[in-house]
Amino acid sequence: MLSDFSFDEMVVFAKKIGLPAFRGEQIFDAIYSGKTLDEVSNLPKALKEIISEQYPKYKIAHKFTSKDGTQKFLIEFFDGNIVECVLMKYKYGFTICLSTQVGCRMGCKFCASTLNGLARNLSAGEILGQVLLVNRELGGSRKERKITNVVLMGSGEPLDNYDNVLKFIELITSKKGLNISERNISLSTCGLVDKIYKLADENLNITLTISLHATNDEKRAEIMPIANKYKISEILDACKYYYDKTGRKIYFEYTLIKGVNDSDEDALNLSKLLKGFLCHVNVIPLNKVKERNLEGTSRLFAYQFVEKLKEKNVSATVRRTMGEDIGGACGQLRARYLK
Ligand code: SAH
Residue owning the nearest CA to atom 15 of ligand 1: 211
pLDDT in tens, 67-84: 888 999 999 999 999 999
Q: How far apart are CA 166 and CA 183, in angstroms?
A: 15
Cβ of 284 below 6 Å from ligand 1: yes
Taking CA atoms only, the protein residue closest to ligand 1 atom 7 is 190
Regarding the beta carbon of 257 and ligand 1, being less than 6 Å apart is answered no
Cβ burial, residue 49 (10 Å; 0-12/13-18/19+): exposed
Helix (H, G, I), strand (E, B) or coil at 252: strand
Q: Is the CB of 214 under 6 A from ligand 1?
A: no
Share of the chain above pLDDT 70, in %: 94
Report pLDDT digits (tens) over 190-206. 999 999 999 999 999 99
Determine if ligand 1 sits within 6 Å of the CB of residue 70: no
Residue 297, pLDDT score? 87
Tell me what the pLDDT averaged over the chain comes to: 93
Mean pLDDT for 155-174 is: 98
Catalytic residues: 84, 330
Confidence of residue 322 (pLDDT cuts 50, 70, 90): low
What are 147's strand-pairing partners? 94
In the reported structure, the alpha carbon of residue 329 is separated from the centroid of ligand 1 by a whole-number distance in angstroms of: 7
Supply the residue whose CA is at minimum distance from atom 9 of ligand 1: 153
pLDDT score recorded for residue 335: 61
Test site for ligand 1: of 185, 188, 195, 286, most ligand atoms within 8 A of the Cβ: 188
- Ligand 1 and 188: CB distance under 6 A: yes
pLDDT bin (cut points 50, 70, 90) of residue 329 is: low
- Nearest CA owner, ligand 1 atom 22: 287
* pLDDT tens, residue by residue, 309-320: 999 999 999 987
Task: Give, using CA atoms, the residue closest to atom 6 of ligand 1.
Answer: 189
The stretch 86-103 carries a mean pLDDT of 94
In this structure, of 125-134, 168-177, 273-282, 330-339, the range with the lowest mean pLDDT score is: 330-339
CA of 325: how far to CAs of 64, 67, 72, 289, in Å?
10, 8, 11, 13
At residue 92, the pLDDT reads 83
Centre of ligand 1 to C-alpha 40, Å, is: 38
Residue 310 to residue 243: CA distance in whole angstroms: 21
Per-residue confidence band for 299, with pLDDT thresholds at 50, 70 and 90: confident
Residue 251 — pLDDT band, cuts 50, 70, 90? very high
What's the confidence (pLDDT) of residue 324? 65
pLDDT for 292 equals: 77
Residues 6+ apart with CB under 8 A from 134: 34, 60, 71, 73, 85, 87, 96, 147
- Helix (H, G, I), strand (E, B), or coil: what is residue 203? coil
What mean pLDDT is predicted for residues 86-92? 90
Which are the contacts of 293, defined by CB distance < 8 A and separation ≥ 6? Answer: none
Does the C-beta of 206 come closer than 6 Å to ligand 1?
Answer: no
Residue-wise pLDDT for 205-243, tens only, equals 999 999 999 999 999 999 999 999 999 999 999 999 999
Check pocket membership of 211 for ligand 1, CB cut-off 6 A.
yes
Report all structural domains of the chain as residue ranges with CATH numbers, in order of start.
1-56 (1.10.150.530), 58-337 (3.20.20.70)
**Looking at residues 95-101, what average pLDDT do you find?**
97
Question: Could you report the per-residue pLDDT of 42-59, keeping only the tens digit for each?
Answer: 999 999 999 999 999 999
Query: Cα(331) to centroid of ligand 1, in Å?
Result: 9
In this structure, what DSSP letter does residue 28 have? H
Whether 328 has a pLDDT exceeding 60, the answer reads: no
Choose between 331 and 179: higher pLDDT: 179
- SS3 per residue for 72-101: EEEEECCCCCEEEEEEEEECCEEEEECCCE
Contact 157 CB / ligand 1 (< 6 Å): yes
Q: Distance from the CA of 28 to the center of ligand 1, in angstroms?
A: 33
Percent of the chain residues topping a pLDDT of 90: 84
pLDDT score, position 326: 60
- Residue 212 CB less than 6 A away from ligand 1: no
Residue 330 clears pLDDT 90, i.e. is over it: no
- Residues 114-130, mean pLDDT to the nearest whole number: 96
- Taking 60 as the threshold, does the pLDDT of residue 333 lie above it? no
Counting from 1 in the atom list of ligand 1, the atom nearest the Cα of 209 is 8
Q: State the pLDDT at residue 91.
A: 85
- pLDDT for position 196: 98
Ligand 1 centroid–CA 287 distance in Å is: 10
Query: What is the reported pLDDT for 334?
Result: 62
